[in-house]
Amino acid sequence: MSRERNPAQSPDPALRHALRHVVRAFSAKLSGRLSEYGVSEAEYVSMFALRRIPNMSNADLSRWTGVSPQGTNEVLKSLITSGLVERHPAPDHGRILEACLSGRGEEVIAACEDAANALEAEMCSGLKPH
pLDDT score recorded for residue 17: 85
What is this structure's pTM? 0.82
User: Closest Cα to residue 42, out of 12, 72, 22, 17?
Assistant: 72
> Measured over all CA atoms, what is the biggest interatomic distance in the chain, rounded to whole angstroms?
65
Give residue-wise pLDDT tens across range 75-115: 999 999 999 999 999 988 878 999 999 999 999 999 999 99
Q: Please list the residues that pair with 88 across neighbouring strands.
A: 98
